[in-house]
């Protein structure tokens, strides 16, 4: 059995607001992630999936509960856990190469070696030709490739991805899915991947953590047992996608009912199938 | 331009105003008489104008340099500590509403007539402006870039040096350009009132000896230097920076 890499125990996060009761972003989240596992956090907006990722990253602090990485509590951000954000966040004044070298130079890697490793990683994301380009000269997909190279070049144990492909067009996203899958299999990193795209989660993950809202937390966890590399038309995946979609719809309906009034129904006159696929047998 | 010069010369030739009020620009009214051009050229050759320009510029540079340091430090403190923002930030904004030449009587009392009060005016004018522009610039650093840097392990001075400061450079340049223009005005106003040599004092001398040609020569120098520094230094740096930062794409 692979060792537990990240352990979240009863993690609770509240945001204090002026003149309001505090908002509970995460309520009692317990989750453990194995070394080398690819876990997606999936859910509608407001379910606290990004907050959870930020807590693991050390960018935010949990209100209560504990978070262990390699059985040690974390102290703030660290370069063993690097985040790739939705917007690439490349430094606009640095060339692509300098951007990729940034993390290495912080780790005091000698300049020459840093340059070689950065160029090597730019080759891996197929951007070797663009080493001396400036970020604004690249397309959205290329920027995300640079962001991924910049994160992985420092050889972190954990890669945290916060909707990294959400702003890209469908074709680019599909290509990057395949590339990320390949990079993950080659490097064996532990990846936590935040997304609201079910297909993306299904195609990439070992496990999918479906999250709920109000209060934010874990609703269900789905293991994905399909061989890699995957195609989204794989029947196991299609089936899983539908199961998740059903649960997500329940969640959405709950949210909309709260927001728009209790008589709201997402669908009318449909036969409800519960997540375990038993239609009324438990009556 | 040519038309303006022609009209000017015509007014001068037809004696609409006396020559001390309206001197010819290029062609003298009587052989060997004064023209603005002649005064300008002579002034430059015998060093009187050059010397005055030099001493004005030296004060400007000293004052501007100190103002940049003060402005950046205060701007950073305002950005970093909310308490400073609430107290000093408000104070600086109100002080900036006072035209800086208004400080001159106070400066003369504190520093006496001379270089000290002129530099004081320059520092005051530019530093307040830089404080405001630099604190705004620091506040507008995209949080994303800070998060990216800190997730890669950058903290403290390294974070400031490599990300926060770098990301504000385009705005800082624009702020410096504005402050430079204010400083240039301040140095001349200060010299005009506070004496102590320099172009401003020479202007005042021109007024008292009724030498309109001298006044014009100085005004030409002021205009040329002001626009030279703005166009050839600041505009170029700005364009370079904006292009590199990807803000300007042409």
Contacts of B246 in chain A (CB under 8 A): 92, 134-137
Classify residue A172: in a domain, yes or no.
no
Q: Would the pLDDT of A267 be above 50?
A: yes
Peptide bond into A215 cis (omega under 30): yes
Q: Is pLDDT at A78 greater than 60 in this prediction?
A: yes
Residue A183 located in a structural domain: no
Q: What is the model's pLDDT at position B199?
A: 84
Taken in order of first residue, the domains within chain B and their CATH numbers are: 48-244 (1.10.3720.10)
Cβ–Cβ of A89/B153 closer than 8 Å?
Answer: no
> What is the DSSP secondary-structure string of B14-56?
TTSS-TTTS--SSS-SSTT---HHHHHHHHHHSSHHHHHHHHH
Q: Is the pLDDT of residue A25 over 90?
A: no
A267 to chain B, any CB pair closer than 8 A? The answer is no
Question: Could you tell me if A73 lies within 8 Å of chain B, comparing CB atoms?
Answer: no
For residue B74, the model assigns a pLDDT of 92
Q: pLDDT grade, residue B67 (50/70/90)? A: very high
pLDDT of residue B86: 84
Say yes or no to pLDDT of A44 above 60: yes
Q: Give the chain A residue nearest B147 (alpha carbons).
A: A59
The predicted model gives B220-231 an average pLDDT of: 88
| Cβ-defined contact of B153 to A135 (cutoff 8 Å) | no
Average pLDDT over residues A76-87: 83
User: Residue A79: its chain B contacts at CB < 8 A?
Assistant: 151-153
Task: Say whether pLDDT at A55 is over 90.
Answer: no
Closest chain B C-alpha to A93 CA, distance in angstroms: 5
Kindly write down the DSSP assignment for every residue of B180-223, as one continuous string. Answer: HHHHHHHHHHHHHHH-SSSHHHHHHHHHHTT-HHHHHHHHHHHH
Mean pLDDT of B40-60: 84
Residues of A in contact with B244 (CB under 8 A): 93, 134
* In chain B, % of residues over pLDDT 90: 13
Report yes or no on A88 lying in a domain. yes
Handedness of CA A10, A60, A149, A138 (dihedral sign): positive
Mutate to test the interface with A, among B142, B146, B151 (most CBs of A within 10 A): B151
DSSP state of A22: P
Q: Give me the residues of A, 165-224, that contact B with CB < 8 A.
A: none
User: Which is more confidently placed, B22 or A94?
Assistant: A94
pLDDT at residue number A47: 78
Contact B169, B160 (CB under 8 A): no
| Residue A21 lies inside a defined structural domain of this protein | no
> Looking at the predicted structure, is the pLDDT value of residue A97 above 60?
yes
B157 at interface of A, judged by CB pairs closer than 8 A:
no
| DSSP reduced 3-state for B90 | helix
> Tell me, what's the pLDDT at A196?
86
Confidence category of residue A105, pLDDT binned at 50, 70, 90: confident
Identify which of B153, B246, B249 has the shortest CB distance to residue A103. Answer: B153
| HSE of A103, CA atoms in CB hemisphere, 13 A | 32
Whether residue A16 contacts residue A22, with contact meaning beta carbons closer than 8 Å, is answered with yes
Contact A79 B153 (CB under 8 A): yes
- Residues A57-72 have a mean pLDDT of 80
Q: Do B144 and A87 touch (CB under 8 A)?
A: yes
Q: Give A9's strand partners.
A: A66
What's the pLDDT score for residue A281? 61
pLDDT for the residue A270? 56
CB contact under 8 A, B151 and A87: no
pLDDT of residue B49: 82
Rounded CA separation B244/A93 (Å): 6
Contact with chain B for residue A140, Cβ under 8 A = no
Q: What is the pLDDT of residues B74-122, one digit of tens each?
A: 999 998 888 888 888 888 888 888 888 888 888 888 888 888 888 998 9
Q: Is A91 within 8 Å of B167 when comparing Cβ atoms?
A: yes
pLDDT band at B134 (very low <50, low <70, confident <90, very high): very high
Cα–Cα dist B40/B45, whole Å: 9
**B-contacting residues in A 86-125 (Cβ below 8 Å):** 87, 89, 91-93, 102-103, 106-107
Do the Cβ atoms of A92 and B245 come within 8 Å? yes
Residue A102 within any structural domain of the chain: yes
CB pairs below 8 Å between A and B: how many?
Answer: 63
- Say whether residue B245 is in contact with chain A using an 8 A CB cutoff: yes
The predicted pLDDT at position B66 comes to 94
Of A65-74, A91-100, B53-62, B214-223, the one with minimum mean pLDDT is A65-74
Interface test with B, best of A74, A106, A135, A192 (most B CBs within 10 A): A106
Range from A257-266, B131-140, B152-161 carrying the lowest mean pLDDT: A257-266
In chain B, the residue whose alpha carbon lies closest to the alpha carbon of A138 is B246
- Residue in B with minimal Cα distance to A56: B151
Contact criterion met (CB < 8 Å) for A102 and B162: yes
**B210 CA to chain A: closest CA distance, Å?**
54
Residue ranges making up the domain that contains A99: 82-155
What does the pLDDT average to over B27-56?
80
Across the range B152-179, mean pLDDT stands at 87
Statement: residue A275 has pLDDT above 70: no
Contact B144 A78 (CB under 8 A): no
Residue B154, chain A, CB below 8 Å: the answer is: yes
Predicted confidence band of residue B1 (pLDDT cuts 50, 70, 90): confident
Task: State chain B's mean pLDDT as an integer.
Answer: 85
pLDDT digits (tens, 9 = 90+) for A144-193: 888 888 888 888 888 889 888 888 888 888 888 888 888 888 888 889 99
* Arithmetic mean of pLDDT, A208-232: 80
Mean pLDDT (whole number) for A14-43: 80
Judged by CB atoms closer than 8 Å, whether chains meet at B148 and A93 is answered as no
Q: What percent of chain B has pLDDT over 70?
A: 98
Check pLDDT > 90 for residue B70.
yes
> What local confidence, expressed as pLDDT, does residue A166 receive?
83
DSSP annotation of A128? G
Check pLDDT > 50 for residue A1: no
| Count of domains forming chain A | 1
- pLDDT (mean) for A231-248: 82
- With tokens 């590399």, the residue in question is A229
Residue B153 forms contact with A (CB below 8 Å): yes
What is the Cα A136 distance to its own chain's centre? 25
| CA of A170 vs chain B CAs: smallest distance (Å) | 24
């Amino acid at each position: 059995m692979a060792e537990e890499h990240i352990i979240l125990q009863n993690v609770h996060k509240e945001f204090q607001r002026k003149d309001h009761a505090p908002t509970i972003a995460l309520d009692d989240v317990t989750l453990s992630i194995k070394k080398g596992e690819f876990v997606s956090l999936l859910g509608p907006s407001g379910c606290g999936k990004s907050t959870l990722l930020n807590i693991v990253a050390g960018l935010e602090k949990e209100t209560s509960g504990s978070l262990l990485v390699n059985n040690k509590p974390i102290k703030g951000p660290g370069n063993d856990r690097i985040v790739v954000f939705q917007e690439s966040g490349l430094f606009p004044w640095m060339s692509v190469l300098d951007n990729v070298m940034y993390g290495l130079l912080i780790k005091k890697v000698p300049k020459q070696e840093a340059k070689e490793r950065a160029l090597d990683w730019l080759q891996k994301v197929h951007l070797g030709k663009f080493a001396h380009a400036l970020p604004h000269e690249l397309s959205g997909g290329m920027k995300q490739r640079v962001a991924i190279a910049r994160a992985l070049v420092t050889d972190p144990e954990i890669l945290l991805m916060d909707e990294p492909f959400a702003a890209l067009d469908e074709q680019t996203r599909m290509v990057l899915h395949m590339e990320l899958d390949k990079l993950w299999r080659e490097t064996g990193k532990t990846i936590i991947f935040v997304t609201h795209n079910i297909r993306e989660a299904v195609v990439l993950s070992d496990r999918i953590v479906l999250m709920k809202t109000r209060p934010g937390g874990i609703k269900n966890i789905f293991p994905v047992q399909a061989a890699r590399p995957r195609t989204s038309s794989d029947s196991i995946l299609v089936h899983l996608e539908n199961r998740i979609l059903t649960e997500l719809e329940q969640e959405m309906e709950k949210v909309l009912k709260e927001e728009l009034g209790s008589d709201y129904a997402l669908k009318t006159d449909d036969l409800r199938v519960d997540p375990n696929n038993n239609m009324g047998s438990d009556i | 331009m040519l038309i303006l010069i022609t009209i000017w010369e015509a007014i001068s030739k037809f004696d609409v105003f006396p020559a001390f009020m309206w001197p010819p620009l290029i062609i003298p009214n009587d052989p060997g008489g004064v023209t603005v051009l002649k005064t300008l050229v002579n002034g430059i050759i015998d060093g009187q104008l050059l010397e005055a320009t030099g001493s004005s510029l030296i004060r400007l540079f000293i004052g501007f340099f100190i103002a940049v340091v003060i402005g950046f430090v205060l701007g950073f403190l305002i950005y970093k500590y909310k308490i400073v923002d609430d107290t000093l930030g408000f104070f600086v904004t109100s002080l900036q509403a006072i035209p800086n030449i208004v400080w001159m009587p106070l400066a003369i009392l504190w520093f006496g007539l001379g270089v000290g009060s002129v530099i004081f005016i320059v520092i005051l004018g530019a530093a307040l402006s830089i404080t405001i522009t630099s604190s705004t610039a620091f506040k507008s650093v995209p949080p994303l870039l800070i998060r990216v840097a800190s997730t890669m392990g950058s903290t403290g001075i390294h974070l400031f040096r490599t990300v926060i400061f770098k990301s504000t450079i385009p705005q800082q340049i624009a702020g410096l350009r504005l402050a430079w223009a204010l400083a240039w005005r301040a140095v001349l106003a200060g010299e005009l009132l506070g004496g102590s040599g320099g172009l401003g004092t020479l202007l005042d001398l021109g007024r008292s000896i009724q030498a309109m040609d001298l006044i014009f020569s100085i005004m030409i120098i002021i205009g040329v230097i002001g626009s030279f520094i703005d166009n050839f230094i600041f505009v170029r740096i700005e364009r370079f920076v904006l292009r590199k930062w990807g803000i300007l794409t042409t």
